[in-house]
Homo-oligomer: A and B are copies of this chain.
Amino acid sequence: MRIAIYPGSFDPVTLGHLDIIQRSAKMVDLLIIGVLNNKSKSPIFTVPERVNLLKEVTKDIPNISIEAYEGLLVDFAQERKASIIIRGLRAITDFEYELQLAQTNRKLNPVVDTVFLTTNVNYAYLSSSIVREIASYGGDISQFVPNTILQSVYDKIKSIRSV
């Protein structure tokens, strides 16, 4: 049984993430979406909220598990018996950072390998931070996040701005 992990912050999940999820789920037996609990960042959505948004948008894909994690990715992979890490590549800048991560992870644990998928061109220039910035100015993000969570994202960002 082949298990892969697709790690990320997903703050919030975008149509670009969803594209990678749908395509990589077809390639493995179980796809674990690992939601990173990064204590040095200040996310908009809490980890449980991000897990719930991911569950909502992937509810029709059977072989998926959404799980929060913290610490080193290779440790999480080993604990969950995953042999593949999946990452999306959008652009050159991504690529160098991803290469660094992949090589470092292979040094830390040679049993876990990283594979890359290229993001669909329509979402190639899309990121969670751009979604947050546009939404914070009241801009239209309906082309960037899955329809079913659109209202949740607007509500959350409105609640933050009104503080």
CB of A130 within 8 A of chain B?
Answer: yes
Instruction: Enumerate chain B residues within 8 angstroms of A125, measured Cβ to Cβ.
Output: 99-100, 103-104, 121
Given contacts A114-B118, A118-B116, contact A92 B96 (CB under 8 A): yes
Given contacts A93-B93, A104-B130, A137-B72, contact A99 B118 (CB under 8 A): yes
For the complex formed by this chain, how many copies does it contain in all? 6
State the CA gap A134–B100 with chains docked (Å).
Answer: 13
Instruction: Enumerate chain B residues within 8 angstroms of A113, measured Cβ to Cβ.
Output: 23, 26-27, 117
A145–chain B nearest beta-carbon distance, Å = 13
The answer to whether B116 touches A71, judged by C-beta atoms less than 8 angstroms apart, is no
Closest to A118 in B: B102
Query: In chain A, residues 9-29, which have Cβ atoms closer than 8 Å to a Cβ of chain B?
Result: 23, 26-27
